């Protein structure tokens, strides 16, 4: 065991963090999962708790992080990630993006470990170019409601690059586009969990605005594969990981109603402030550098996700 690669995952009990823990264990890593469970859930990692190569530490990473022994990789995924969470937890979101990133980078520097930052397509804000390339600097409202998340991630990217340039820390930055799959929270507030839970319960399906705004949704297996490839690569600059298959919110709602066989009707509500009108990754860099592109089509991914939501909403059935 002493020769195993040791990887620390902050936010490891969250939706993406827990799948990342699974992936790293499958690649023969020893995994230390850190989470304060503010939006994470022990249920996401309960299947790992008996694994001798897995350790869970309940801890707020805005405080000093202590890990005994060697650490090879730190994958920083801690943060509220859905609008419902960061609107409810604005200060915590800013703190984990700033102080939490600082503490995680400090650990990477002390352990001479590789550091991978989970950034987001939200750094592009409501984009003025389409699709979004990594060279685009974004169009973000720093004082809007969503600014607490967008600017926390933009600051985290700047701090990561500063630690790379000034301290020589080996860093990676992944810009994650909309992702979905099992272990998303039913009350997550993002489109797919909302549409699925409403359709399964036979409730009206709520679409914001006129539903013409677009997203590009990526199944979590594809995303985790891309992140692992980036970790193993030599690429220092940010890399978009997402599925370029763009869909309107209205079309997505209709697809989910169809897959569930629900009789739900679609109702429209006012578009939230600063909600991006378009979102689509340019994944040329990921294709060229990581030899990565998504493989799971949307219908296949939605069906897999639906099975999970059925069990969560109707346990015992």
SS3 content of the chain, % helix, strand, coil (to 5): 40, 20, 40
Question: What are the contacts of 40-44 at 24+ separation with CB within 8 A?
Answer: 40/11, 40/12, 40/13, 40/14, 41/13, 41/14, 41/183, 41/185, 42/13, 44/13, 44/14, 44/15, 44/17, 44/18, 44/183
Q: CA-CA distance, 29 to 228, in Å (whole number)?
A: 12
Which structural domains are found in the chain, ordered by start? 5-179+220-241 (3.40.50.720), 182-215+245-276+296-313 (3.90.25.10)
Is the CB of residue 117 less than 8 Å from the CB of residue 172? yes
Catalytic residues: 149
Question: CA 126 → CA 34, 84, 213, distances in Å?
Answer: 32, 18, 11
| The pLDDT of residue 1 | 46
Is the CB of residue 121 less than 8 Å from the CB of residue 154? no
Q: What is the SS3 assignment for 84?
A: helix
Scan for tokens 């065991």, then name that residue.
Answer: 1
Question: CA 244 → CA 14, 172, 205, distances in Å?
Answer: 24, 21, 25
Q: CA-CA distance, 91 to 98, in Å (whole number)?
A: 11
- pLDDT of the chain, 317 residues: tens digit per residue: 458 999 999 999 999 999 999 999 999 999 999 999 999 999 999 999 999 999 999 999 999 999 999 999 999 999 999 989 999 999 999 999 999 999 999 999 999 999 999 999 999 999 999 999 999 999 999 999 999 999 999 999 999 999 999 999 999 999 999 999 999 998 888 999 999 999 999 999 999 999 999 999 999 999 999 999 999 999 999 999 999 999 999 999 999 999 999 999 999 998 887 778 889 999 999 999 999 999 999 999 999 999 999 999 988 77
Q: How far does the chain reach from its first CA to its final CA, in angstroms?
A: 41
Looking at the whole model, is its pTM more than 0.75?
Answer: yes
- The candidate with the shortest Cα–Cα distance to 55, out of 73, 72, 30, is 30
Is the CB of residue 45 less than 8 Å from the CB of residue 82? no
Q: CA-CA distance, 83 to 207, in Å (whole number)?
A: 15
Is the CB of residue 171 less than 8 Å from the CB of residue 156? no
DSSP string, 171-205: EEEEEE--EE-TT--TT--SHHHHHHHHHHTTPPE
Q: What is the SS3 assignment for 252?
A: helix
| The pLDDT of residue 2 | 56
Helix 147-167 × helix 101-111 angle, to 10°: 20
- The candidate with the shortest Cα–Cα distance to 9, out of 113, 123, 165, is 113
| The pLDDT of residue 8 | 98
- The candidate with the shortest Cα–Cα distance to 290, out of 220, 222, 232, is 232
């Amino acid at each position: 065991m002493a020769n195993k690669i040791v990887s620390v995952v902050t936010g490891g009990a969250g939706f993406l963090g827990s799948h990342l823990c699974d992936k790293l264990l499958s690649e023969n890593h020893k995994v230390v999962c850190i989470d304060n469970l503010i939006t994470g859930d022990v249920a996401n990692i309960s299947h790992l708790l008996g694994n001798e190569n897995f350790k869970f530490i309940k801890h707020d990473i805005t405080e000093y992080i202590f890990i005994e022994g060697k650490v090879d990789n730190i994958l920083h995924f801690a943060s509220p990630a859905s609008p419902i969470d960061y609107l409810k937890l604005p200060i915590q979101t800013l703190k984990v993006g700033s102080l939490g990133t600082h503490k995680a980078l400090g650990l990477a520097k002390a352990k001479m470990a590789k550091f991978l930052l989970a950034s987001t397509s939200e750094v592009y804000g409501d984009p003025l170019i389409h699709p979004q390339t990594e060279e685009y600097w974004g169009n973000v409202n720093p004082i809007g409601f969503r600014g607490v998340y967008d600017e926390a991630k933009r600051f985290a990217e700047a701090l990561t690059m500063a630690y790379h340039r000034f301290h020589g820390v080996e860093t990676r930055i992944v810009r994650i586009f909309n992702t979905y799959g099992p272990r998303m929270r039913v009350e997550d507030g993002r489109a797919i969990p909302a549409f699925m839970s409403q359709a399964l319960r036979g409730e009206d399906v709520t679409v914001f605005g006129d539903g013409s705004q677009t997203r590009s949704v990526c199944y979590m297996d594809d995303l985790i594969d891309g992140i692992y490839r980036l970790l193993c690569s030599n690429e220092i600059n940010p890399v978009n990981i997402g599925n370029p298959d763009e869909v309107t919110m209205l079309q997505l709602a209709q697809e989910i109603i169809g897959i569930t066989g629900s009789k739900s009707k679609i109702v429209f509500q006012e578009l939230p402030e600063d909600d991006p009108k378009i979102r689509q990754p340019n994944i040329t860099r990921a294709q060229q550098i990581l030899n990565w592109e998504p493989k799971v089509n949307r219908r296949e991914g939605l069906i897999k996700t639906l099975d999970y939501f059925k069990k969560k909403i109707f346990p015992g059935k």
